[in-house]
Structure 1
Amino acid sequence: MALPKIYLWDGIVISIMRRFNTDMQGEVGYSLKKSSFFGWAVLFGIFMGVSSVQSAIYHVAMEGEDFLSCQKGTNPHTPRRSIEGSLRCLSAGDTLYVHSGTYAEGILSWETPFDNGESWDRPITVATYPGDTVIITPPAGTAFFWIKENSDKYLIIDGFIVDCRHIAWHGFKLHGGVSRVRIINTEVRNAKFSGVLVTVSSARGAKSPGYHEFINMKVHHSGESTQDHGFYIETGHNLIEHSEIYSNSGWGIHNFRSSNNFAHHNTYRHNLVYRNGLKGWACGIMLSSGYENVAYNNNVYENPTGLCTLYRSTNNRFYNNLVYQNFTNGIFVGGGKENIDTGIYHNTVYGNRVYGIFIEKGVSNVFVKNNIIFQNARRNLVLGEEGQNEARVSHNLQEDPSFINSTEKDFHLNPSSRAIDKGVAVSGMTFDCDGIERPQGKLPDIGAYEFQNPKPAQDAHSEKLQKS
């Protein structure tokens, strides 16, 4: 364990000790009297409490020098030069600020081991200095961070542009039993393979890999084939939200493992996922190889297929998504008998170029409720094999729902919409794509949006009375 940081406290502590000893003895000195023992014990306790939680801020800049000590690196006027070299200075609670510039660095955890954070209250943070622009260009065959270990990292990476133009394989790779890495406000582009790759290391898997968070990211132009994706997720309890995932050669979000199921309880929400599958058939978001994964409140368009669930899939759900103008299906459910209990609720599926929702033969217990499925080119809804147990369908609308402006992609409902108050309650569906509570009327509305009556306009006189 790294020692507590007291660089900035040395002078303060000595001053306090001298002042305190003067007060207790009447003169400056370092001898202890019995009468002052209690006071010194209190001061020692305060000091140890402060120093044990003291965090340090380090700086990296293009003009820095790595021969400088870690202590020197806490001064923004004497920064160190490399991210890799400065990581060794950090312990739980510390922050490394990277100042403007382009850094050709790839951090491989087995070559550059560094401490873990203790919790999300005391993480290790590597961040772009506020207001600066930092571009990372990892070397060929690497990633900005490639972490291969079994540990809870409690690591935050914030604010970078990761450009893999020098044939870097990934923007980030999290492998083995590593868990609890949070990447925020970061762009990944031009990866040779998948932009962000999260994998396990054995057929049995690690004890609890995953629990990663990817927030407010841009991941685009990754890969060379349909096997390369924006995000490739094999582990469980991960979150991708408020991110833009586009123009990747394969799938946008690929929740999948080729054998064994570890990709459970993942959440994909509030994302823009579009124009993926540049090298062939792919889905914007796929849920597979696990159970109880959810994709909701996403805007998914112009992919070969919008949303899909395939092999070894149990109780995965799509809801409150806008799925439109994809090149084949809006939503596809396949994988045969290994696909069980998929839920498709409250989606708006519009204008896809072949089918709206396609349920393949052989799947079991697909629940299709409260969806708007309209103006899909060939058919709105395909339900497997007649008389089989593939789909349970109710309260969907395949007629004109009266959108506000479908041309401008505004799929909110007009007051005259046939979708209003025509749905049925579904467990857990308590809000819409805007976060509006369901239902607003007697029953839930069909589709991704719940209609909400605007508040009546107030005249100036009534507004003045309210303020008074």
Structure 2
Amino acid sequence: MNRFSSLTKSILFVQSVLMGGALILPPLDVNAATFHIKKTGSDSNSGTNLSPFQTIKKGIGMLSAGDTLYVHEGTYSESIHSWKIPIPNGKDWNKPITIAAFPGETVIINPPSGNAFFWIQDGEAKYLIIDGFIVDGQKKAIHGFKFSNNTRYVRVQNSEIKNSTDSGLIVTICGGCQNPETAPHDTFHEFINLNVHHNGSSIKDHGFYIETSHNIVEDSKFHNNQGNGGKFFHGNLSGVANFNIARNNVFYDNSTSGNWSCGLILSSGDGSIAYNNISYGNYAGFCILHRVKNARLYNNIAYDNDYYGIYVGFSSTDSSYIENNTVYKNNGYGIFIGDEANNTQVSNNISYLNTGDNIGLFKQTGTLLSHNFTSDPLFVDPAARNFHLKSESPAINKGKFINIISDDFDGTERPQGSSHDIGAYEEVSKEDTIPPATPKDFVAN
């Protein structure tokens, strides 16, 4: 079929002439096209909005770099496997492949039993955006999404992933390869604004499970999963899950079976960081575990967890940084640095009203404690979980300067005063904007 005669075309070139000069906008991609999927469509149609395809598989087969595939309202029972259906690649993030629920419409994916919605292991740089779906495994599908074998550059966003029998979202180095320690593992995936919940059948199943490096998880919720809320981790290898980032997420009520688990785990690599996250209702809030170096937790909030707010240790951790976190009323230790934790720096944290020690040390080596606060910090409203500091808080201006931490949980620049505040929030003094009253009988000259 003629790619442009019956498809929704992008504007090829836009030129705007303004008074006093010309503003020329760059041309949009001449090859970009839009295809549509509807339950009432047919795979023998042309794929336009008025003549839509019926299956997602058919639409994917029509895509080229820069194209968009819209899936319209309805429930679809499909699974996209890269070894069965070639999945085209975008060129870069300026010219990606986009597969999206049509704006304003609810699209539910029920992957068949034993499958996932997208299961990609072609080892290619995809530049693929998957946007706006509700992926419901109905306790039949294994995962919502699985990417492996050096598949790179996939962005999953604005989606819900629930009721998988295993982990909702999983990224592995390779499936069945002989030497995983030498396999490529820099995958650069992005997982943004997701609601990942009620996945798994055992403690080994998680909201997300990522073995690889250079991935971002942000602005998402992970809750009521059987194992951990999420983990950057490999079961056997070190030096593989490197430089991952988790930020602006909420991890809560995971490990519904009541087993030892964490809201979030940093593990098995070098330089991963988690900041501006909240964790509550888990066994442990945030964990740094297993063969990890230079992991960093800062500007996080951990409260009402079953035992630990923050746990560091177990199977060799080295040079971890626990900084500017707020840890409150956990049913055990606030911050615990345990066995085989080496050279951990614990600085600028508020840890208060935990059932056990606010800061506990056990069989660790070389832990440095500095500028932590374990008395009443005068939170604004801890009962409502408002952990901002009152203006008279004794934690204000009492922290040390930490170069990497330039702002707080809210994005407020640090410091606001003579030094950094302790905890996840920097207190901002309210300026007096009310002018003084005019003195009585005042006469201007």
If the length of structure 2 is used for normalisation, what is the TM-score? 0.90
Task: Determine if contact 1:4/1:52 at 8 Å carries over to the other structure.
Answer: no
The answer to whether the aligner puts 1:454 opposite 2:430 as a matched pair is yes
Query: CA 1:308–1:51 in structure 2 vs 1: closer, same or farther (change >3 Å)?
Result: closer
Q: CA deviation at 1:427?
A: 2.3
The corresponding residue for 1:311 is 290
1:353 corresponding residue in structure 2: 331
Is 1:409–2:385 an aligned residue pair?
Answer: yes
C-alpha displacement of 1:51: 9.7
Task: Indicate how the Cα distance of structure 1 residues 292 and 105 shifts in structure 2: closer, same or farther if over 3 A, else same.
Answer: same
Amino acid aligned to 1:157: I
Secondary structure (helix, strand or coil) at the match of 2:306 reads coil
SS in 1 for 2:358: strand
**Deviation (angstroms), 1:390:** 3.4
Partner of 2:193: 216
Aligned-residue RMSD, C-alpha? 2.1
One-letter code of the match for 1:251?
N
Asked if the contact 2:416–2:428 (Cα under 8 Å) also holds between the matched residues in 1, the reply is yes
Distance 1:182 1:4, change over 3 A: farther
Structure 2 partner of 1:368: 346
Q: Is the 8 A contact 1:105 1:136 kept in 2?
A: yes
- The answer to whether residue 261 in structure 2 is matched with residue 282 in structure 1 is yes
Match of 2:44 in 1: 67
Write the letter of the residue equivalent to 1:204.
E
Q: 1:117 aligns with which of 68, 72, 90?
A: 90
Partner of 2:32: 55
Shift of 1:383: 1.5
1:19-54 deviations in Å (ceiling 9; x for gaps): xxxxxxxxxxxxxxxxxxxxxxxxxxxxxx979732
Question: CA offsets per residue over residues 178-226 of structure 1, 9 Å max, x none?
Answer: 0100000000000000000000114235435420000000000000111
Q: Once the 2 structures are TM-superposed, how far is the Cα of residue 456 of structure 1 from its aligned partner?
A: 2.4
TM-score when normalising by structure 1: 0.86
Amino acid at match of 2:322: I
The aligned amino acid for 1:326 is: N
Alignment match, 1:273: 251
* Structure 1 residues 9 and 90: alpha-carbon distance in aligned structure 2, compared to 1, 3 A threshold: closer
The one of 232, 246, 252 equivalent to 2:229 is 252
Distance 1:282 1:174 in 2: 24
Unaligned runs of 5+ in 1: 12-48, 463-468
Kindly state the Cα deviation for residue 85 of structure 1 after the two structures are TM-superposed.
1.5
Please, which runs of 5 or more residues in structure 2 have no aligned partner? Answer: 10-25, 439-445
Question: Could you tell me how far apart the structure 2 residues matched to 1:256 and 1:397 are?
Answer: 31
Alignment partner, residue 171 of structure 1: 144
Which deviations, in whole Å up to 9, do the C-alpha atoms of 1:148-180 show, x marking residues without a partner? 111100000000000000500000001111010
Post-superposition CA distance 1:373-412 (Å, at most 9, x none): 1000011111224xx6331001000000000000000000
Deviations 1:280-307 (A, max 9, x none): 1100000000010001000110100001
With 195-204 and 49-58 compared, the bigger mean Cα shift is at: 49-58
Picking from 124, 131, 136, the partner of 1:158 is 131
The change in CA–CA distance for 1:460 and 1:140 in structure 2 (over 3 A counts) is farther
Aligned residue for 1:79, secondary structure, equals coil
CA distance in 1, matches of 2:354, 2:65: 53
Alpha carbons of 1:178 and 1:205: their partners in 2 closer, same or farther (altered >3 Å)? farther
Residue 199 of structure 2 aligns with an amino acid whose one-letter code is S
State the 1:93 CA deviation. Answer: 0.2
Aligned length: 416
Contact preservation (8 Å) 1:228, 1:251: yes
Structure 2 residue aligned with 1:428, among 404, 407, 421? 404
The 5 Å alignment of 1:13-162 reads 53-68=30-45, 72-73=46-47, 75-162=48-135
SS across alignment from 1:248: coil
- Counterpart of 1:184 (choices 157, 164, 172) is 157
Cα deviation, 1:129-160, whole Å, max 9, x if unaligned, reads: 11110000000000000001111000000000
Which structure: greater helix fraction? 1
Question: What is the one-letter code of the residue matched to 1:384?
Answer: F
Corresponding position: 1:381 with 2:359 = yes
Cα distance in 2 between the residues matched to 1:422 and 1:267: 28
